[in-house]
Chain A
């Protein structure tokens, strides 16, 4: 057994938990010892208390944001995998599309988010549009790179028995692409959350964590606690999404070297 003792292994499992706990304890101590005013930086215990005092409020504000991010991500995935597959198939199409994808990725979404509102009006539609625009490019790239990462010898093996394109795609290319797709999914999910928040800033909606944050900002001294509560809720949503992906990855990619311990 590698790394010897049982205590050694349980320490390794506990290490991340200890790290997070240490971070919050340090934060709490600094705020209390230096007596930092709440509007500058509230202690984590006060932020958690704020959430515990109004669980319904934060739950109701979190739901639309989660919905926008999740729905937008789902649309991105449904668009990106077929588009990426087509592009992986044709070098010419890929070369033509590549600059557009790169342009989308390097242009800060904040810059064109207001334009979405002008085009699509107020409401959920421009928010979804922003989420899709921001989370699709990494998924397309992940699909292309993943589909291309196929083992040439296995491809030759499939050719030797005249496997159809369809068989090669579903039996070989798509499973080969899964590790890359999961990596892209992590990136796309965090971007989707950013997109949902940003969309809410501009889209004139009156619910969601993004709306709540922008409202708090108008009144930062009185609203410091709700602002930080939103940050905590968002961190929790992000963590939950990452955990979900990790569990899915562990199940689907148990054969992959990255999952061997």
Chain B
């Protein structure tokens, strides 16, 4: 029961015409693991994330979050969500934005939000100490996304769902954000389900990568990334790193329709 189980999940959107977003998707994620969904746009990565989150019902199959259904897990505040845009409230300071998830749906949690001292450590780790009373409009895109990351960790939620959180950042900023995320995650004990379409990102961050294809959305390969942790920037120059990237690329290519 100490894992996230996604078993034979399918999703069909009913509308003027039926759209099959996802077929027969299975994945098991152990507690504390960092697992990435890698695939092109429209392969159902985000839909899967929403189903795990319990905001989108599954059409087929079964999902359980440490033994409970997604909707119940959501009501118990088991999830910290990091969307693609920072989604900060512009009328709140950095500190109050970070605290947002702890202010809503109070008392529903089986876990405690991080103590203030620990949140301060996280804010320090991402270099935001000097900006606690700043408003989002005065921060750069990268800084805003760091606030968004800390907000998810600050909720103390055991499962973090990240939907391409670095996709809108420039290449240099996103390069450093990846290692920042690893630093935050390393000491948190949280389970992360991460969505990306970047091969490098998937290899740098993950314990395992589920490679997906589209039309219909499905899983085509599951690769373990057996690189030692903690991982540092030098990793990207290593032979092992390139080998993993090549493997993922091959898996993606195998699904191409020619």
Q: Mark A residues whose CB is within 8 Å of B.
A: 151, 153-154, 156-164, 167, 171-172, 175, 178, 253-257, 260
Contacts and interface: CB of A to CB of B under 8 A. Distances in A.
A260 B80 CA distance: 32
A167 B81 contact: no
Interface of B, helix, strand, loop or mixed by DSSP: loop
Contact of A161 (B79, B84, B89): B79
B91 A160 contact: no
Closest 8 CB pairs of A and B: A160-B81, A153-B87, A163-B104, A153-B83, A154-B87, A255-B135, A153-B85, A167-B104
Contacts of A257: 90, 137
- Main SS of chain A's interface residues? helix
A244 B155 CA distance: 40
A160 B79 contact: yes
Contacts of B110: none
Given A151-B85, A171-B103, A161 B137 contact: no
Contact of A153 (B53, B80, B84, B100): B84
Contacts of A156: 55, 81, 83, 87
B22 interface: no
A131 to B, nearest CB: 31
Contacts of A256: 90-91, 137
A172 B89 CA distance: 8
Nearest to A160: B81
B107 to A, nearest CB: 12
A242 to B, nearest CB: 23
A178 B91 CA distance: 10
Nearest to A253: B91
B81 to A, nearest CB: 4
Interface string B195-219: 0000000000000000000000000
Interface in B45-99: 53, 55, 74-75, 77, 79-81, 83-85, 87-92
A175 B89 contact: yes
11 contacts: A151-B87, A157-B87, A157-B100, A157-B101, A160-B74, A160-B81, A161-B79, A163-B104, A175-B91, A255-B90, A255-B135
A178 B75 CA distance: 29
Contacts of A161: 74, 77, 79, 81, 101, 104-105, 155, 157
A83 B101 CA distance: 29
Contacts of A172: 89
A253 B91 CA distance: 8
B91 A255 contact: yes
Most buried by B among A158, A162, A254: A162
Nearest to A156: B83
B226 interface: no
B4 interface: no
Nearest to B74: A162
Interface string B145-189: 000000000010100010000000000000000000000000000
Contacts of B28: none
